[in-house]
Structure 1
Amino acid sequence: MLRFAGKTVLITGAGRGIGKAIALRFASEGAALALVSNVESDLLATAEELAATGASVRTFVVDVSDHNQVEAAVGAAVRHFGRIDILVNNAGIAWEEPVLGITPDHWRKIIDVNLNGTFWVAQAVANRMAEQGGGVIVNMASTNGLVGEANYAHYNASKGGVVLLTKTMAIELGGKGIRVNAVCPGYIQTPMSEAIDSPEFIEQYIRAKIPLGRVGKPEDVAGVFAFLASDDAAFITGETIVVDGGQLAF
């Protein structure tokens, strides 16, 4: 089903993990793709895989925390594709460390990428969407933006900010034909999570916290992004959709 034929999707953090899965999902439904990452090797590998499917792909190496780089990339994407219909605001980073040990550099870096970067990209794209008469923005939040988790104070704060940024943008931009929602994944197994957690920790986490008995896959999240970007969600805005295998039901 080519729900996104004739539409352009800009995806940040598209080089691996959930961002890559989202790119593959949108490509399978006919979208043209503007892919953004700060890791060129990951980005080019993803673009090559997508191009082999026949998708129209353009890549942009960008640090989303840098406003000037964001503006330049969004402008270039619009010039190349003509418009951006959908923004998937996915770029993010995380570290596990206790609140008393968080350094100023680590605090600033996570806020700069996860919150400031989300805002810079959303603002740049929303300005173009307002000019073209509308669009859809889907931000990557987290269950960590809804409830606390020890040793992730900076990450939790950044994702809580994304949740309220999403709601505020939805209120302001609805009249311009722009829907804004967020997705809140729980434990999704990605290269980032695997760098933090051991297999033993993951097994214990599943037993203790996830009713469905497994961690999530990037594809579990990609489908929700596609739904929220589609016309099936035409009357949904300002919402945060949880994808966590039932974890927050406890």
Structure 2
Amino acid sequence: MARFSSKVAFITGASRGIGKAIAERFAVEGAKVAIVSNSVEELNAVEQQFINEGYEILPLLADVSDSSQIERAVELTVSQWGRIDILANNAGIAWEEEFLDITDSNWRKMLDVNLNGMFYTAQRVSRQMVKQGGGTIINMSSTNGIVGEKNYAHYNASKGGIVLLTKTMALELGARNIRVNAVCPGYIQTPMSEAIDSAEFIEEYIRNKIPLGKVGTPADVAGAFAFLASDDAAFITGTTIVVDGGQLAF
């Protein structure tokens, strides 16, 4: 398919895991892809891979928690390709920490990346979309933004904030021809999840919490992003799509 052959996609956290899978999905379907990452090494590796595969990409080094860096990345993208049609607002961090032990600095770090960074990126890209007459934004939330989970108070708070940010953006931007939705993955096996959870934990989690009997993959989430960015979702805005193997059906 080449659904996005005339489109420019701006993807944060795009150098590994789910973000990389999203970037690959849009590139495979013909989009020009701006790949945003805060890791030079990972960005260089993805750049080389995508060039080898014949994709049209723009690698951008930026920390989403710094609004000036995001503004510069947006400017460079528009300078290169003239527009941004799709925002995959994906960058995020996570770690386990008991509520009573969360330090002020760790609380701020989590929200600076996961919520503030989501706002900075969405706002700066939205301003460009208004200028060009529209676009579509997909924010990365989580099932942790819908239900609670122990030892993730800061992460849960950030992801819950994204759900309401998405709805409010959709209300304000719909008249500007900008659709805004969120994706809420459940347990997706990524380098970040593997750094947190043991194999034994994952097996027990699947057995007790996931009706489909398996964890998700980054490609599963990338498919939801591609759908929401496509014309098949032309009348969908202000909602969340849950990608969790049935976990929240319990």
Same fold (TM > 0.5): yes
1:69 paired residue number:
69
Shift of 1:52: 1.5
The AA in structure 1 aligned to 2:206 is I
2:187 paired residue number:
187
Percent identity, please. Answer: 68
Shift of 1:44: 1.5
2:211 paired residue number:
211
Shift of 1:244: 0.1
The AA in structure 1 aligned to 2:36 is V
2:79 paired residue number:
79
Equivalent-residue separation in structure 2 for 1:52 and 1:132 (angstroms): 31
Equivalent-residue separation in structure 1 for 2:217 and 2:134 (angstroms): 31
The AA in structure 2 aligned to 1:212 is L
Equivalent-residue separation in structure 2 for 1:20 and 1:46 (angstroms): 8
User: RMSD of aligned C-alpha atoms?
Assistant: 0.5
1:89 paired residue number:
89
Find the residue that maps to 2:97 and give its secondary structure. Answer: coil
* TM score, norm. by length of structure 1: 0.99
Shift of 1:125: 0.2
1:230 paired residue number:
230
Equivalent-residue separation in structure 2 for 1:51 and 1:105 (angstroms): 39
Equivalent-residue separation in structure 1 for 2:35 and 2:197 (angstroms): 28
2:122 paired residue number:
122
Shift of 1:54: 1.3
Equivalent-residue separation in structure 2 for 1:29 and 1:36 (angstroms): 19
Find the residue that maps to 1:92 and give its secondary structure. Answer: coil
Find the residue that maps to 2:216 and give its secondary structure. Answer: coil
1:244 paired residue number:
244
Q: Which sections of structure 1, spanning at least 5 residues, go unmatched?
A: none
Q: Which sections of structure 2, spanning at least 5 residues, go unmatched?
A: none
* TM score, norm. by length of structure 2: 0.99
The total of aligned residue pairs comes to 250
Shift of 1:239: 0.6
The AA in structure 1 aligned to 2:110 is I
The AA in structure 2 aligned to 1:116 is N
Find the residue that maps to 2:147 and give its secondary structure. Answer: coil
1:220 paired residue number:
220
Equivalent-residue separation in structure 2 for 1:57 and 1:132 (angstroms): 21
1:45 and 2:45 aligned: yes
Runs (4+) off by over 6 Å:
none
Equivalent-residue separation in structure 2 for 1:33 and 1:141 (angstroms): 21
Question: Which digits, 9 at most, give the CA deviation of each residue in 1:205-228, with x for residues without a partner?
Answer: 000100000000000000000000
